[in-house]
Amino acid sequence: MNGIEPHANPDQESIIEQIINDQIDIHSVEELEPLLDVFPDNPALYRKFADLLAGRKRADAAMLAYHKAATLYLDAGMVLQSIVAKILEWSIVKPSHREGHDFHAMVRRKGGGDMPSQVLFSQLNYEEMVTLMLRLTRVRLSPDEVVYDAGQESTDIYLIVSGELTETLPQIEGAASATAITLAENDIFGDIFPLEEESLCLARVVATSAVELVKISKPVLKATCYRYPRIRELLERLSRIRTPQGSRAWQTVRRSCRYCLPADISVEFTSDNTGNKRVVNGTTRDLSTGGICVVLKSDTTRSDIDALLKQKPTLTILEGNRTVIDGLTGNVAWRKTVGRMARPTHIVGITFDPMAEETAIALNAFCTISNDEQDMIWNLWNHLVRH
Amino acid sequence: MQNQHTENALTQSPQIWAVGGGKGGIGKSVLSILISMALAEKGQDTVVIDGDLGGANLHTFMGIRTPSRTLNDFISRQCATLDEVCMGTEQKGLRIICGASEVLTLANLQYTQKVKILQAISRIEADHVILDLGAGTGFNTLDFFLSADRQIVVMTPQPVAIQNAYAFVRNAVYRTLSRLTSRRPSLGRLVKTAMDPKNDMRVRTVSTLLDRVAENGDPADATEMAIHLKRIRPTLITNMAREPRDKNAGRIIQMVSQKHLMIQAEIGGGVYYDPQINAMVSAMEPLTRVERDSNALQSALTIVSHLENTGKG
């Protein structure tokens, strides 16, 4: 992966998003593993964990982690992301036909959706899907890295696994400015059609964030489509689809807020052997019914953190000075210090203990509504309210 | 205690308004008072109740530091009726029932206590009772909200507040369906599963849920559920609007609720941000002293007039 200068911003962004995007560096498997206890259903975190394991040549563990990531992605309707995790899993141990068929059945059953890559994989039969999976090559890009320029010979077609890029069409004479379109996860791009002739890139495509793509080259696709013409039909049609700019804008916003709403947190614990209670405060943007990542306020001392690690904290979720949910207990599973040495920011990941049904429902209501509902709210907010 | 009821107040149950919205700090209490004042200004005998059972503070907006009577006096049977707990305010026709912040256990009301409070509210001698609900989507809050004749959902124009207000409506819908199916284990499980936004059944809307109910059980069950859902008619009010566009926040919840929850919400209008209100709250000055031509009170008067014209105000 291309290196990205860490620029953690724990006060304003999701900690999990920052870890996944490498804005908060985690190089050690041991450091990431406890975080999976806090967020056991996060597919991107499992994918990150699997990549770390694979990098450490721990093939068996990596294979299991990729398998878990693929399953969680599919549960979340993220077909392409699941397929990429599966490609990586199967690159370690070749699957049996049974496993392949089972995975294909799951893609057909749980897949679907409106985005181009979702449509693509939900419509392929088993042979077509496996053939395409075998031919996809992974590409990682850093922000500002150019995929191709207008006028350059077109050599590949790309599917966006994660991240964002800008596609800029050359400025038309008389137009005020060039047309720029945001491409994001599940989009397909690349001007390689018709496959039988040389073709030129019609636009400039540049990564605007850390990006993961999968690509297939023109000659390979041409050979593949000779036997499987439906792959060509689908790719040709879907690579021309561009999501309207308004919709794309909200999707970008949603991604940064997917895990939860920002909230204030109070963490109470016993500070020493005398049983004195201590309260530290913080904020969170990473909350699930399984656990929470709390960014502690700047007045939290290292001794507070050390004491907190040894104790069983009780958490209260606040909105302003009002208690929204209280009585949550758990264990500190993970800690991280980011920022400058002179002014460090402490982050803790806490797994929740089993909780009363009413608390679980309240917590679920607080941190989750469905992606569809959330998307519609953001989309409408952009259109109707945003100034 | 004032005893200035209109003729209607002495002969009929009051119209009950519940003001909720999920998120704290969006001005539910201030809006409850403004609506109460607007109704009182129109000559309607009105009682505003602090329904935030876990963190009562409505009285501070009326300039009352320590209430002499609270809802707890009724719960603990020191007062036989809620009318006895009512305290007068500086505004003619407006009384207040202060919350019981000293009894934190009230946040976990027993069912019988809840029923007792609801029955007592319906017996208050007034034209209108405004119930200022606490933040969050706890069962008590939702039950009080659902029992009201007029269900007000408040939000500010910020995305998080809109999302919270929507979550509040969503939870009210599922609370209704859960109660309806509480004695039907198989249907109850279906409803409970559908509440999870990422459920494996791929039920993403209430409409799909009702289809599943009809497929798996008796279609009459689905029909009954749909009838109950029609009774949820939240009125959406955007508080602290600074520009006309901000008032569209209610439209968002209206559209999302219609699509995902089968709920026909109504746009109640908006209340403009008014620095005078902030200053009064900071100074603990009674909001009843707000200038009559203030943006906030004028907005509340417009909302009340609009709701009267739509037949439910």
Asked if residues B52 and B59 have their Cβ atoms less than 8 Å apart, the reply is: no
Token readout for A102 is 């089972």
pLDDT for position A249? 38
pTM beyond cutoff 0.90: no
Interface ipTM above 0.85: no
pLDDT band for position A386 (50/70/90)? confident
Question: Closest Cα to residue B95, out of B50, B157, B57?
Answer: B50
Domains, in order of start, for chain B: 7-154+271-301 (3.40.50.300)
Cβ atoms of A277 and A270 within 8 Å: the answer is yes
* A248 contacts: CB under 8 Å, gap ≥ 6: A181, A182, A184
Which one of A319, A362, A369 has the shortest CB-CB distance to B25?
A: A319
Gap between the Cα atoms of A104 and A86, Å rounded: 11
Q: Residue A321: its chain B contacts at CB < 8 A?
A: 24
pLDDT digit string, tens, across residues A44-94: 999 999 999 999 999 999 999 999 999 998 877 788 999 999 999 999 999
- Please tell me the class of the A137-243 domain: mainly beta
Q: Which fold has domain A263-367?
A: Thrombin, subunit H (2.40.10)
Report the 10 Å Cβ neighbour count for A139.
Answer: 16
Residues of chain B with pLDDT under 50: 1-4, 103-105, 313
Residue B289 · residue B33 · CB < 8 Å: no
Across the A:B interface, residue pairs with CB atoms under 8 Å apart total 99
pLDDT score for B8: 54
Count Cβ atoms below 10 Å from residue B140 Cβ, excluding itself.
22
Quick one: chain A helix, strand, coil %, rounded to 5?
40, 25, 35
At A220-229, the pLDDT tens digits run 999 999 999 9
Give the model's pLDDT for residue B105.
46
The shortest C-alpha distance from A316 to chain B (Å) reads 13
Which chain B residues have a beta carbon less than 8 Å from that of A369? 163, 166-167, 170, 197
For residue A275, what pLDDT is reported?
75
Among the partner-chain residues B136, B137, B256, the one whose CB lies closest to the CB of A377 is B256
Residue of chain B nearest A253, judged by CA positions: B159
User: Testing the interface with B: which of A72, A260, A355, A369 to mutate, by most B Cβ within 10 A?
Assistant: A369
Distance (Å) from the alpha carbon of A320 to chain B's nearest alpha carbon: 6
Cβ-based contacts of B136 with chain A (< 8 Å): 322, 324-325, 362, 366
- pLDDT level of residue A176 (50, 70, 90 thresholds): low
Q: Which residue has the higher pLDDT, A367 or A257?
A: A367
Give B108→chain A minimum CA distance, Å: 11
- For chain B, the distance separating the N- and C-terminal CA atoms, rounded to the nearest angstrom, is 25
Within chain A, residue ranges assigned H as helices are 15-20, 29-38, 43-55, 59-75, 79-92, 97-110, 116-123, 126-135, 218-227, 229-238, 245-257, 302-310, 357-367, 371-384
8 Å CB contact between B86 and B118: no
* Among the listed residues B298, B235, B233, the one whose alpha carbon sits nearest the alpha carbon of residue B261: B233
pLDDT at position B126: 95
Dig out the tokens for B187 from the structure. 């249907």
Task: Give the N- to C-terminal CA distance of chain A in Å, as an integer.
Answer: 38
Confidence of residue A13 (pLDDT cuts 50, 70, 90): low
Identify the pLDDT of residue A109. 79
Q: How far is it, in rounded angstroms, from Cα B148 to Cα A172? A: 60
With contacts defined as CB-CB under 8 Å, which chain A residues touch B159?
Answer: 253, 377-378, 381
Distance CA(A250)–CA(A383), nearest Å, equals 10
Which tens digit of pLDDT belongs to each residue from A127-173? 999 999 999 999 999 999 999 999 999 999 999 999 889 999 887 76
